[in-house]
Amino acid sequence: MARRYDPERRERIIDAAIRVVGAKGIAGLSHRSVAAEADVPLGSTTYHFASLEELLIAALRRTNENFATLMRQSRSLADPAADLAGELARLLGEFFSAGRGPAELEYELYLAALRRPALRPVAAEWADDTAALLAPRTGPATARALVALMDGICLQVLLTDGVYDEAYAREMLGRISR
């Protein structure tokens, strides 16, 4: 039987893993559940990802891109005349504008690094990359503090079933960035 050419299969498997985690949590992730969701043979998932850890790493990298893309597209972050705190608060609002689901999924994968050491470097990449985007405006220490505060604000909203308060975020981010 001829092999079917499917250059997007690996990407579809990652997307399927993200959907599985979104629907069933990390506990529901298996090669079998992802293969079914991606509509690919089970062997495809194990071919592209030898372990579930590898699949989780790829899923975390993909979800990390959501907020990173918003930040990279922001021209205000690089503009020394722009209100940095206001822009970061706006970007967090845009992150939450898609609803709680995508934010919860991203943080579920991010916090999985607490119990899965293989994910820690990927979680650290997000913090490092975000701080690197901010550091030219603030310096490295303040950039890291801003990242920590943004993480804290997001976690509080998600864990308390709260509503994102852009004015509060702007004020707190402004205190750190000044």
3-state secondary structure the chain: CCCCCCCCHHHHHHHHHHHHHHHHCHHHCCHHHHHHHHCCCHHHHHHHCCCHHHHHHHHHHHHHHHHHHHHHHCCCCCCCCCCHHHHHHHHHHHHHHCCHHHHHHHHHHHHHHHCCHHHHHHHHHHHHHHHHHHHHHHCHHHHHHHHHHHHHHHHHHHHCCCCCCHHHHHHHHHHHHC
Domains in the chain (CATH in brackets) are: 1-50 (1.10.10.60), 63-177 (1.10.357.10)
Whole-model pTM: value is 0.87
pLDDT tens figures, 55-75: 999 999 998 888 888 898 998
**How does pLDDT run across 104-153, given as a tens digit for each residue?**
988 998 999 999 999 999 999 989 999 999 999 999 999 999 999 999 99
